[in-house]
């Protein structure tokens, strides 16, 4: 049985899709059979971030409506063997998804995969609720900013009430906090919320902290998940996040501002 | 779940619900006396009398016949909307139905909290409750304890008695109680105590950042709160007709 993980946030633009792609890649690089599903029907982005937009023929909506088989819609990642992508439809809207249809797709994928990542759309409506409904674990992506924290808080309330585990009275969803776009310098100057404030308000386990990094934008535009950029700070931070997700203990990095030494400024300090 | 993906739309659904409801406990059946006291109350807290639905409780009255129609008229004249009658003999029940009001059987003895006495000018005496030394009275009369974080968009209500939150109430969340609200953590959302008009209720928290504080209809917004009290443990209570916030540190 696969572990179903939803990547969600409430607020848009905080890095859900980037994080889903990076974590799925990290899980697959460690030998786990992983599939990442784009639930953002109508605004599909995951295929771009994963760099497979030119290979999309069928999508999740086609599978749910019986127009294509699951194996026809799954796209095998070019870089990592164990990784598959199930893209969303760009021409339909979120009403095209049904709870029964999604359940069937997840049940089938569960037999073949170790991890299923559901990349949720923004918002708290049907599409986002469907992405989280069958989840075993949730990664709540939050920026160090007050509106993002409040929206994450709202999503955590929904995870505790509007999911299958909640409705059946089973063990609650395992909730993890992933802080993205963290800039220690701007935290020190008071422009951004600091890590401890966010942890105190949301009161859930911190699974990772991704520093604000040029590597993320570069990765998105190249269609290569940032996990592959192993020398970048963001790539390493996502690798740490994956380690914690599979149960390893890794110390927290990139949360304190470090002055660049003269040497690093002279030799290749530009790549961050 | 609330997703309506395939379901046909229906004209209505019946749902059970617990709504906060003000009970107006009559200690006199004289419409003139009630009118006088309502006029006094209205000038004290006009915000409370905004077409507020009320249940007229006549359990304390021994009269088999009531001038129910006149009492209702007096209430409506003061922007209270009687929706039902509780207690009373069979003729009271019949006249309630005739007036289009609901009728509830009398409440079990020992339940219910003291509300402000609207109808009489005399000091209100709480009904004799059987001594229950093992349980705090608020819990026995329907108080509620919540362990965890009350999150944005969530509403937690204790329709009778006190509400105790062992955790934080986050911004965008709302906690309400007929009695007092106790928050053993940071209070960042809205807290409303004494929602049925209990002016003796209070709000207590370990760390004040509340968006809104209200006791028996009197409220203060975050902007109205003395900044020096923010982030500190406080109690909030009605002091005359002013909402007072004092430090507990």
pLDDT tens sequence across A37-65: 999 999 999 999 999 999 999 999 999 99
> Which pair of structure tokens corresponds to residue A227?
């996990």
How far B180 CA sits from the closest chain A CA (Å)? 24
Give me the residues paired with residue B144 across strands.
Answer: B163
Least confident interval from A118-132, A167-181, B33-47, B185-199: B33-47
pLDDT of residue B113: 39
Phi, psi dihedrals of residue B73, rounded to the nearest 5°:
-65, -40
Give me the residues paired with residue B203 across strands.
Answer: B181, B236
Q: What's the rounded mean pLDDT across residues A127-150?
A: 97
B1 neighbourhood in chain A, CB within 8 Å: 99, 129, 133, 162, 167
Least confident interval from A211-220, B129-138, B175-184: B129-138
Residues 6 or more apart in contact with residue A146 via CB below 8 angstroms? A193
Query: Tokens 């617990």 correspond to what residue?
Result: B18
How far A86 CA sits from the closest chain B CA (Å)? 21
Inspect the interface and report whether the beta carbons of A95 and B6 lie closer than 8 Å: no
Residue of B nearest to A102 (CA): B5
pLDDT of residue B36: 83
Inspect the interface and report whether the beta carbons of A203 and B5 lie closer than 8 Å: no
Q: What's the rounded mean pLDDT across residues A237-246?
A: 97
Cα gap A176→A89, rounded to integer Å:
28
Quote the ipTM score: 0.78
Cα gap A156→B184, rounded to integer Å:
20
Inspect the interface and report whether the beta carbons of B5 and A99 lie closer than 8 Å: yes
Cα gap A41→A45, rounded to integer Å:
9
Is residue B127 pLDDT above 70, yes or no?
no
A126 neighbourhood in chain B, CB within 8 Å: 3, 5
Query: Tokens 């507990």 correspond to what residue?
Result: B248
The Cβ of residue B65 has, within 10 Å, a number of other Cβ atoms equal to 11
Q: What's the rounded mean pLDDT across residues B106-133?
A: 41
B153 neighbourhood in chain A, CB within 8 Å: 124, 153-154, 157-158
pLDDT per residue as tens digits for the range A247-259:
999 999 999 987 7
Inspect the interface and report whether the beta carbons of B153 and A167 lie closer than 8 Å: no
B152 neighbourhood in chain A, CB within 8 Å: 150-151, 153-154, 157
Is residue A269 pLDDT above 60, yes or no?
no
Cα gap A55→A88, rounded to integer Å:
13
pLDDT of residue B119: 34
Is residue B128 pLDDT above 60, yes or no?
no
Confirm if A145 and A5 have CB atoms less than 8 A apart: no
Cβ-count burial A213-236 (b if 16+ within 10 Å, e if not): bebbeebbeeebbbbbbeebbbbb
pLDDT of residue B16: 67
Inspect the interface and report whether the beta carbons of A153 and B6 lie closer than 8 Å: no
Is residue B183 pLDDT above 70, yes or no?
yes
Is residue B108 pLDDT above 80, yes or no?
no
B154 neighbourhood in chain A, CB within 8 Å: 157
Inspect the interface and report whether the beta carbons of B152 and A151 lie closer than 8 Å: yes
Is residue B11 pLDDT above 90, yes or no?
no
Cα gap B217→B194, rounded to integer Å:
8
pLDDT of residue A260: 65
Is residue A26 pLDDT above 90, yes or no?
yes
pLDDT of residue B249: 80
Residue of A nearest to B189 (CA): A150
> What percent of chain A lies above the pLDDT cut of 90?
90
Inspect the interface and report whether the beta carbons of B151 and A200 lie closer than 8 Å: no
What rounded mean pLDDT belongs to chain A? 94
Residue of A nearest to B168 (CA): A201
> What percent of chain B lies above the pLDDT cut of 70?
79
Is residue A163 pLDDT above 90, yes or no?
yes
Q: Which residues of B touch A (CB under 8 A)?
A: 1-3, 5-6, 149, 151-154, 167-168, 170-172, 186, 188
pLDDT level of residue B38 (50, 70, 90 thresholds): confident
pLDDT of residue A265: 64
pLDDT of residue A261: 63
Inspect the interface and report whether the beta carbons of B152 and A153 lie closer than 8 Å: yes
Rounded (10°) CA dihedral A236, A242, A246, A247? 50
Inspect the interface and report whether the beta carbons of A126 and B5 lie closer than 8 Å: yes
Of B3, B152, B170, the CB nearest to A99: B3
Inspect the interface and report whether the beta carbons of A98 and B5 lie closer than 8 Å: yes
Inspect the interface and report whether the beta carbons of B168 and A201 lie closer than 8 Å: yes
Is residue A268 pLDDT above 60, yes or no?
no
The Cβ of residue B161 has, within 10 Å, a number of other Cβ atoms equal to 22
CA distances (Å), origin B231, targets A44, A171, B210, B228: 43, 34, 10, 8
SS3 category, A213:
coil
């Amino acid at each position: 049985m696969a572990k179903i993980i939803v990547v969600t946030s409430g607020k848009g633009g905080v890095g859900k899709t980037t994080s889903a792609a990076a974590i799925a890649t990290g899980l697959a690089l460690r030998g786990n059979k992983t599939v990442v599903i784009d639930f953002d029907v109508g605004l599909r982005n995951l295929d771009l971030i994963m760099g497979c937009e030119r290979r999309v023929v069928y999508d999740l909506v086609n599978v749910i409506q019986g127009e294509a088989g699951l194996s026809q819609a799954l796209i095998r990642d070019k870089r990592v063997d164990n990784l598959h992508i199930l893209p969303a439809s760009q021409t339909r809207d979120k009403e095209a998804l049904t709870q029964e249809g999604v359940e069937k797709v997840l049940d089938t994928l569960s037999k073949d995969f170790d991890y299923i990542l559901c990349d949720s759309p923004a918002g708290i409506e049907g599409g986002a609720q469907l992405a989280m409904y069958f989840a075993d674990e949730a990664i709540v992506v939050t920026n160090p900013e007050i509106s993002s924290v409040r929206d994450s808080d709202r999503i955590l309330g929904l995870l505790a009430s509007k999911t299958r585990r909640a409705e059946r009275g089973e063990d609650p969803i395992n909730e993890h906090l992933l802080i993205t776009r963290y800039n220690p310098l701007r935290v020190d100057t008071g422009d951004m919320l600091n890590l401890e404030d966010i942890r105190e308000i949301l009161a859930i386990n911190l699974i990772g902290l991704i520093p604000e990094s040029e590597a993320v934008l570069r990765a998105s535009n190249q269609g290569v998940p940032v996990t592959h950029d192993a020398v970048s700070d963001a790539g390493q931070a996502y690798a740490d996040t994956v380690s914690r997700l599979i149960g390893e203990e890794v110390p927290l990095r990139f949360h304190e501002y470090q002055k660049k030494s003269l040497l690093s400024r002279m030799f290749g300090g530009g790549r961050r | 779940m609330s997703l309506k993906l395939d379901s046909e739309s229906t004209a209505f659904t019946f749902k059970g619900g617990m709504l906060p409801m003000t009970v107006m406990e009559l200690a006199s059946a004289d419409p003139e006396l009630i009118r006088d006291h309502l006029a006094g109350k209205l000038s004290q807290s006009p915000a409370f009398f905004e077409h507020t639905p009320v249940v007229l409780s006549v359990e304390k009255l021994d009269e088999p016949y009531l001038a129910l129609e006149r009492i209702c008229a007096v209430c409506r004249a003061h922007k209270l909307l009687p929706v039902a009658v509780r207690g009373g003999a069979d003729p009271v029940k019949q006249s309630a139905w005739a007036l289009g009001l609901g009728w509830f059987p009398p409440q079990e003895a020992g339940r219910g909290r003291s509300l402000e006495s609207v109808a009489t000018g005399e000091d209100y005496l709480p009904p004799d409750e059987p001594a229950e030394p093992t349980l705090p009275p608020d819990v026995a009369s329907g108080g509620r304890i919540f362990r965890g974080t009350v999150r944005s968009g969530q509403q937690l209500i204790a329709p009778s008695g006190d509400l105790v939150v062992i955790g934080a109430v986050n911004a965008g969340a709302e906690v309400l109680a007929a009695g007092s609200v106790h928050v053993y953590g940071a209070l960042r959302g809205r807290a409303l105590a004494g929602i049925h008009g209990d002016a003796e209720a209070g709000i207590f928290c370990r760390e004040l950042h509340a968006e809104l504080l209200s006791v028996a209809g009197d409220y203060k917004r975050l902007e109205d709160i003395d900044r020096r009290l923010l982030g500190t443990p406080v109690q909030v209570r009605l002091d005359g007709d002013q909402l007072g916030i004092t430090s507990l540190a």
